Structure 1
Amino acid sequence: MPRYQQIARQIRQAIGDGELAADSRLPSSRTMALELGVARATVENAYGELVSQGWLERRGQAGTFVSPSASPTASGANIASSQPQGAPMPFQMGLPALDAFPRALWARLTGRRLRLQTRYDLLMPEANGESTLRQAIADYLRFSRSIDCQPEQIFITAGFQAAMRLVVGTLAKAGDGIWLEDPGYRYVRPVFADAGMALHPVPVDGEGMQIDYGLEHYPEARFALLTPAHQSPLGVALSLTRRHQLLEWASARQSWIIEDDYDSEFRYHGKPLPPVKSLDGPERVIYAGTFSKSLFPALRTAWLVVPQRQVAAFARQSRHLPCTVPILIQQTIADFLREGHFWRHLKKMRQCYGERRVWLEAALAEQGFDVVPQAGGIQLVMRVQGDDRAMVAKGRAAGLAVQALSDWRMTPAGEGGIVMSFTNVTSHEMARRYALKLRQAIT
């Protein structure tokens, strides 16, 4: 374990044991470094990790203090009770590594934007998103994902669900069918159901969505939503044969493919797989992305790349569903992209997630769990025998934010599993502690 993580662990333990009370002041990083015989930067990194996790808080020149929400934890207490208020629960899904985000850099970029703002920046933002951000996304997609698009084809939305509502409002009508991966991302289904669309579950195997099944059972569907680069939650990639098969179906039926590329940047072996959009000769693919997984979810910022021929229709609909992301946030993201910080951050996070996944896989294997191999992503799946929902209920009662694979399915058939994230598992020791807690909870 790196030295700064050892120091952070000792401070957390002191807070948990009541040796450091809430609101108590810690020594300065210089003083602590002299006492421990380490570099000052090592102590700063330890303090920074604890601040990001909610254990400590900085109060300007007054110094660094134990957070008022960090309370002592009795021996053997529930893990959830040891979490600072607002901190993510162990294994919580949908989160990047909060401790690894360059918050100081982000604050500097935001402050610069604030200083440079003119009175015109106080006006209502463009309905389809800030032009500088749309240009920055177009440049990034061109070089990183081989998607050749223009800024006017990009629409910024307040999250993935808002992006799907824009698609539905522009292209769909009640009664239209949509292929959905089974198992698949369950939180977006209400958007389509509320629009009166027919939800068609299509099974997923080792090559991704079974396109043959969709063609046989629901050939008249007008939409298909899928995660081809890294299927959610199983982690498989859609094979090249099925990608071409999907495009042929969409072209022949004049249907629409919605490609959710939610965490394709986080692939640990080789380059990220090319998106279906990069093969889209017929222009039937709507490409969706978000900054929630690559940066942080509080941004509530996603985007769509729509076919050139549909730009006018989406522009009309966006006047009814305008982008609500604050212009300051959009401008800061644009600067983060244009100045190369995004590339460097992704490179750092790929290494970080690869290490953290190994920690958790090893810890789960020590407890006899069977982890499904995956080439990337920010979550993992464990195979289990028996009622996965009952096991998950026990785990959640113990303060572990695990999810049942059965809850991601639209049909009852299929093996059970437990889905969890490893992004905020910051040490091998933490992974072993959480894995042991999960074993104790479900057996």
Structure 2
Amino acid sequence: MANQVKSGITNILELQPQDSTPLYRQLYERLRLAILTEQLTAGVQLPSTRSLASELGVSRNTVLLAYEQLLAEGYVEGKVGSGTTVAQVLPETLLLCANTKSKSQLKHNQSRHQRLSQRGTALAQTPLIPKPLQTSRGKQQRIFRAGISGINAFPHELWSQLIARRARNSLQNLLTDRDLAGYLPLREAIAAHIVVARGVRCTPTQIIVVAGFQGGIDLAARVLLDPGDAVWMEDPGYLGARGALLGAGANVIPVPVDIEGLDITAGIAKYPQARLVYVTPSHQFPLGVTMSLARRLTLLEWANQNGAWVLEDDYDSEYRFVGRPLTALQGIDSSNCVIYFGTFSKVLFPALRLGYLVVPPDLVEAFITARHFIGTRVPILEQAVLADFMNEGHFNRHIRRMRSLYTQRRATLVAALERELDLEVYAPETGMHLVLWLPPGMDDKLASQQAAAVGIDAMPLSLFSMTETRAGLLLGYAAVDVHEIHDGVHRLATALRAI
């Protein structure tokens, strides 16, 4: 038997000396595979280390190492140097107990390891916003992708100088900062800005710096919700919020949105005792409508009467092109039921992943204590640089410059769409994207796929809906140069006509 193995074993153990994987590892893996596929069956004696080394043209130590690994893992039996045979019972067989359990039992055991918690299942089933398209050269294709700022116009050199200055002059002092709420000068700068720009009523002590929107809503959900609590969620609405709420074990209740924003009456009819409401009142995502003052007052009154919390996501209100935006919901809240979210990822650049919460005074201690145990803090250097960026006036100048740029890009996109397509466009004078409504009967997922085939990154509106919704595509204009818009719209029109 040994002679038979010896004469044919090199056919299944061909090694690749030029490969980066060590030769002993290659030999071990090939022998193990041969055993698992029964090319080498139970009880078969393997060649001696000396003879196999000679046949393969490798050192004896290479074979010794491979045999020792197989012996340690239970694939072979005996003693290296005095006869080595393939094991009668393999490790995989022992682990699965195949000799005593039926196939149905094995299937049950395998599925047991794949079981998730109810929250894990709900979270895993929540759709993700697809990644940006990739060009043939591997670069991200961002033509018309919603939610992406015009990073080409960001003052990169200035930001680099601020980082270098901070790292050179005060990094050692920053390393000892242990304030759980965030870098105090940044919180002071944020408070000074939002009090004026958004009508938020707060002091720096109410501000908690978080790792972007997801870090903020995760913290709020942990503090304010118990598993099973009902939460009103705008439908269609932001997937990041839905995922975080489901991750907290919330019972997410889809509430429709109309031209005035969240339909409070529909929410009360569906679940009048909701614990919490998530809203984007200044610029609803993804539809783009602004919640009317009447709806805002109705929502606050209902929340106050029912002891509910309101999570206000004010993600891109900085970009309003005509007049001043309505005061933030938090600014007209007299009962301290609103937790306000702000983020710099949309305003500055996506990779910054830096945002903040404004919490009612009586919740500050609870939020900060929870923050300690969660352990998700924002790097201190980025906080200090952003504080400098705001305090030295660069932030406001950047906002003014981008507001002008986005106004031009929005107007160009609307004009191109009206020229190329006989479709309804909803383009509010705020934000960084618009909605292209599709004709009745057209599948927006199919339309999105057709657009992707010609390099257009247009997300379907149905992606953000928990119930049936009107078909449409989201088109972002913030990151698209004017000269790219005309060609992009022409390609999109060609793709849609082909459906």
User: Shorter-chain TM-score category?
Assistant: 0.7 to 0.9
1:66-98 superposed Cα distances (whole Å, 9 cap, x missing partner): xxxxxxxxxxxxx97768644442112221111
Amino acid at match of 1:426: D
Q: Counterparts of 1:314 and 1:80 in 2: how far apart (Å)?
A: 38
Distance in 2 between residues matched to 1:86 and 1:161, nearest whole Å? 26
- Aligned-residue offset at 1:148: 2.3
1:19-418 correspondence runs (5 A):
85-123=138-176, 125-368=178-421, 369-385=423-439, 386-412=442-468, 414-418=469-473
* Aligned counterparts of 2:144 and 2:136: Cα–Cα separation in 1: 13
Contact 1:146 1:274 in 2 (8 A): yes
Q: Distance in 2 between matches of 1:394 and 1:179?
A: 33
**Cα distance between partner residues in 1 of 2:251 and 2:171:** 47
Offset of 1:224 from its aligned partner? 0.4
Give the residue type in structure 2 aligned to 1:401. Answer: D
Instruction: State the shift of 1:330 in Å.
Output: 0.4
| C-alpha contact 1:127 1:322 (8 A) present in aligned 2 | no
Q: What SS is found at the alignment partner of 2:161?
A: helix
Please list every run of 5 or more consecutive structure 2 residues that lacks an aligned counterpart in the other structure: 1-131
How far apart, CA to CA, are the structure 2 residues paired with 1:400 and 1:125? 45
- Following superposition, the deviation at residue 127 of structure 1 comes to 2.4
- Runs of at least 4 residues off by over 4 Å: 79-85
When the two structures are aligned, how many residues end up with a matched partner? 363
CA contact (8 A) 1:235 1:375 kept: no
Give the CA deviation at 1:211.
0.8
The normalised TM-score by structure 2 is 0.70
Matches of 2:398 and 2:367, distance apart in 1: 32
| Partner AA of 2:242 in structure 1 | R
Pairs within 5 Å for 1:1-12: none
Q: Residue in 2 aligned with 1:41?
A: none
Residues 232-277 of structure 1: CA deviation (Å, up to 9, x unaligned): 1111111111111111111111110000000111111101221100
For the 8 Å contact 2:134–2:140, the answer to whether it is kept is: no
Q: Contact (CA 8 Å) 2:135, 2:141: kept in 1 or not?
A: no
1:174-200 Cα deviation digits (max 9, x unpaired): 111111111111222111112211101
CA-based RMSD of the aligned residues comes to: 1.7
- State the structure with more CA Rg: 2
- Given that residues 176 and 221 in structure 1 are in contact (C-alpha distance below 8 angstroms), is that contact kept between their aligned partners in structure 2? yes
Distance 1:324 1:85 in 2: 32
In the TM superposition, what is the alpha-carbon distance from 1:398 to its structure 2 partner? 2.5
Percent identity, please. Answer: 39
**Contact kept in structure 2, 1:220 and 1:253, CA below 8 Å:** yes
1:437 paired with 2:491, answer: yes
What is the CA deviation profile of residues 124-151 of structure 1, one whole-angstrom value per residue up to 9, with x for unaligned ones?
Answer: 6432211111111111111211222121
Contact 1:166–1:314 (8 Å) recurs in 2: yes
With CA pairs under 8 Å and 6+ residues apart, which has the higher RCO, 1 or 2? 1
8 Å contact 2:255–2:266 — kept in the other structure? yes
